[in-house]
Amino acid sequence: MPFDPISMKLTTSFVCQECGYESPSWLGKCPECGVWNSLREFKTQIFPRSGISLRETKFKVEQGKERLEEIKPKTLGEIKSSEKERLSTGFSEMDGVLGGGLVAGSVILLAGDPGIGKSTLLLQVGLNLSNNKSVVLSRQKVAKDPIGLQKKEREEILLRQLADQNDKGGNVLYVSGEESVEQIKLRALRITASQKQKEQFKLLSINDTDAIVEVVEKIKPSLLIIDSIQTMESRAVGGMSGSIAQIRYAAALFTRVAKTLSIPTILVGHVTKEGMVAGPMILSHMVDAVLFFEGEKATNTRILRSFKNRFGPVDEVGIFSMEEKGIKEVKNPQHFLREYSNKPSGSVLASTLEGTRAFLVEIQGLVVGSKLPIPRRVASGIDVKRLELLLAVLQKNASLPLATLDVFVNVAGGLRLTDRGTDLAICLSLFSSLKNISLVGTVAIGEVGLLGELRTVPYLEKRIKEAKKLGFKHIISYNAYKTLNEAIRSLAK
Ligand code: TYD
Ligand code: MG
């Protein structure tokens, strides 16, 4: 069904600029988020829903009367599931997060802080696909009954299919509303591109939503990238680019085109502090998957996490590293231990979980005398409030005199830890620094409770296995000790 914007109804609505709440009339205070004077008037277009609409239902003329043709619900068994084919992004880490590659016609929102590397990642995905390196991951079943065919016929079908698969790779359209094509080319020069990639990769620097749809309908790309949804603008809607009505309109239009033409589409969305709700997150119910690209800007580790995924798991993570020449995948779990060797006191390994994968990371603690009336507590890679809490427990439960000392904690390698299973490692690194006892090669796993008790953590066995796999045998966990004090006493001996 071709897309027909004229058939959409135009209505007026009032949308809260803070949270996206919509009301048919103006209100002084938003009933959803409580902010005053935040509702703005918008002309919005109503999109027909999927499924059978009233206009499409068939009428039968029977015995002189018009009667609705019977609409029959189907049982699950009657519905033929077409095995969705998936296109590889060229990054196995990203394919994993997507649940096995890009599904035809799916719409993915890639959200993240400005400057984190979203454009770079997608440029590389585009180039990967343009290289025809990509393969359709789950092949459609060969013909209907290949066994009944002659060997030669079978081979021919397979060859034809492989040719199809390669065709699917090329023809990527990258639309940027933020940068000129020259700027994107400059970026692409940092990432080496082959002649073939240069020929196949198509760029467009434009932010007119409707014009983009026209181009997409004409060239039918194998992958459409929109960078970013906040810069898209249409004359059919009121408000500037970035306003909620514009974002919604653009997302609805691109989703529609993606579904009707079966084009996988990736929308980029910047997340700002207040934008978490008002920005791209208002789209989360419209798209098939929401991926977050995260990391500390000062370090080069980046994590791709799925927040919602209709075609895959949500606990997968992909780990990347931002390098001088573009983004590289981190497949080796020892990546975070590159600089780990014989350490003086203050270093303990934690076995942490990202999604369902266990990783060893080095926690560094430093404890020194303070000249300040209120000693310093500085944390990088963990929450400073968590550090303060652990310090209080160390003082009370393990009687470590930390109240008048400056305390610094750092997670080496640039990971940001929110996993409570790393509590014990943080505590032991501080103990090690305070007492000048080297704990090199020690892996600590456990959550520390307020009363100094050790708690078991999810996937304890998996974390222990990862440590053993990398050759670390000295593992301190809930399995051996029940309180923080016991664990520390065992090391002080
Ligand atoms: P970018 O992809 O523009 O971020 P986003 O689209 O999320 O806003 O990334 C910009 C940063 O990445 C910038 O600080 C430069 C850095 N960068 C590299 O470190 N290596 C590279 O190869 C490229 C292209 C960028
Ligand atoms: Mg960008």
Res 68: pLDDT: 58
Instruction: Find tokens 């790393």 and name the residue.
Output: 422
Report for 17-31, 105-119, 129-143, 336-350: range of highest mean pLDDT: 105-119
Percentage of residues in the chain having pLDDT higher than 90 = 38
pLDDT band at 10 (very low <50, low <70, confident <90, very high): low
Torsion of CA 186, 191, 193, 199, to 10 degrees: -40
Cβ contact 91:128 at 8 Å? yes
Ligand 1 atom with the shortest distance to the CA of 120: 2
Report for 121-125, 197-201, 355-359: range of highest mean pLDDT: 121-125
pLDDT band at 317 (very low <50, low <70, confident <90, very high): confident
Pocket test for ligand 1, best of 302, 322, 328 (most atoms within 8 A of CB): 322
DSSP state of 370: -
Q: What is the pLDDT of residues 111-126, one digit of tens each?
A: 988 889 999 999 999 9
Kindly tell me if the per-residue pLDDT of 453 is higher than 60: yes
**Once rounded to an integer, what is the mean pLDDT over residues 227-237?**
87
CA–centroid distance, residue 184 to ligand 1 (Å): 11
Query: CA 275 to CA 18: how far, in whole Å?
Result: 8
Query: Does ligand 1 lie within 6 Å of residue 117's CB atom?
Result: yes
- Residues with Cβ within 8 Å of 160's Cβ and at least 6 positions away in sequence, in order, are none
Pocket test for ligand 1, best of 116, 120, 121 (most atoms within 8 A of CB): 120
Ligand 1 atom with the shortest distance to the CA of 326: 22
Res 8: pLDDT: 52
Kindly tell me if the per-residue pLDDT of 50 is higher than 50: no
pLDDT band at 59 (very low <50, low <70, confident <90, very high): low
List Cα–Cα distances, 360 to 42, 93, 172, 431, in angstroms: 51, 18, 37, 20
User: Which ligand number lies closest to the CA of residue 123?
Assistant: 1
Kindly tell me if the per-residue pLDDT of 425 is higher than 90: yes
Res 356: pLDDT: 77
Res 52: pLDDT: 47
**Once rounded to an integer, what is the mean pLDDT over residues 75-96?**
78
Burial class (CB in 10 A: 0-12, 13-18, 19+), 58: exposed
pLDDT band at 474 (very low <50, low <70, confident <90, very high): very high
Q: Which of 76-85, 101-110, 455-464 has the lowest mean pLDDT?
A: 76-85
**Once rounded to an integer, what is the mean pLDDT over residues 312-338?**
83
Write phi, then psi, for 283 (nearest 5 degrees).
Answer: -90, -10
Q: Which residue's CA is the nearest one to ligand 1's atom 1?
A: 117
Helix (H, G, I), strand (E, B) or coil at 180: coil
Beta partners for residue 41, in sequence order: 14
Query: Does ligand 1 lie within 6 Å of residue 120's CB atom?
Result: yes
Q: Which residue's CA is the nearest one to ligand 1's atom 23?
A: 326
Query: Does ligand 1 lie within 6 Å of residue 190's CB atom?
Result: yes
Query: Does ligand 1 lie within 6 Å of residue 115's CB atom?
Result: yes
Query: Does ligand 1 lie within 6 Å of residue 264's CB atom?
Result: no
- The mean predicted confidence, pLDDT, of the chain is 81
Query: Does ligand 1 lie within 6 Å of residue 326's CB atom?
Result: yes
Query: Does ligand 1 lie within 6 Å of residue 119's CB atom?
Result: yes
Greater pLDDT, 423 or 325: 423
CA–centroid distance, residue 202 to ligand 2 (Å): 17
Concatenated DSSP letters for 108-143?
A: EEEEE-TTSSHHHHHHHHHHHHHTT---BSSPPPSS
Angle subtended at Cα 300 by Cα 112 and Cα 343, rounded to the nearest 5 degrees: 135
* Sheet strands side by side (includes 39-46): 22-23, 9-16, 39-46
The H or E element containing residue 44 is: strand 39-46
Res 48: pLDDT: 45
Torsion of CA 234, 238, 242, 248, to 10 degrees: -70
Cβ contact 339:327 at 8 Å? no
Strands 442-445 and 347-354: parallel
pLDDT band at 299 (very low <50, low <70, confident <90, very high): confident
CA–centroid distance, residue 208 to ligand 1 (Å): 24
Query: CA 59 to CA 338: how far, in whole Å?
Result: 70
Ligand 1 atom with the shortest distance to the CA of 112: 7
User: Which ligand number lies closest to the CA of residue 117?
Assistant: 1
Query: Does ligand 1 lie within 6 Å of residue 112's CB atom?
Result: yes
pLDDT band at 415 (very low <50, low <70, confident <90, very high): confident
Q: Which of 5-9, 73-77, 208-212, 341-345 has the lowest mean pLDDT?
A: 5-9
* Token output for 476: 């301190």
Q: Which residue's CA is the nearest one to ligand 1's atom 18?
A: 324
Res 163: pLDDT: 45
The number of angstroms, rounded, from the C-alpha of 191 to the middle of its chain's C-alpha atoms is 22
Res 140: pLDDT: 39
Percentage of residues in the chain having pLDDT higher than 70 = 79
CA–centroid distance, residue 268 to ligand 2 (Å): 8
**Once rounded to an integer, what is the mean pLDDT over residues 267-281?**
67
Res 433: pLDDT: 96
Query: CA 158 to CA 484: how far, in whole Å?
Result: 62
Kindly tell me if the per-residue pLDDT of 275 is higher than 60: no
Kindly tell me if the per-residue pLDDT of 72 is higher than 90: no
Query: Does ligand 1 lie within 6 Å of residue 116's CB atom?
Result: yes
Query: Does ligand 1 lie within 6 Å of residue 335's CB atom?
Result: no
Question: Beta-carbon neighbour count of residue 47 at 10 Å?
Answer: 16
* Token output for 462: 């998996």
Which residues lie near ion ligand 2 (Cβ < 5 Å)? 119
Q: Of 137, 56, 51, 49, whose CA–CA distance to 91 is shortest?
A: 137
Query: CA 28 to CA 314: how far, in whole Å?
Result: 39
Helix (H, G, I), strand (E, B) or coil at 426: helix
Query: CA 363 to CA 382: how far, in whole Å?
Result: 10
Instruction: Find tokens 């619900």 and name the residue.
Output: 73
Concatenated DSSP letters for 218-277?
A: HH--SEEEEE-GGG-B-TTS-S-TTSHHHHHHHHHHHHHHHHHHT--EEEEEE--TTHHH
CA–centroid distance, residue 122 to ligand 2 (Å): 9
pTM: 0.74
Kindly tell me if the per-residue pLDDT of 231 is higher than 50: yes
Query: Does ligand 1 lie within 6 Å of residue 218's CB atom?
Result: no
Query: Does ligand 1 lie within 6 Å of residue 187's CB atom?
Result: yes
Res 152: pLDDT: 53
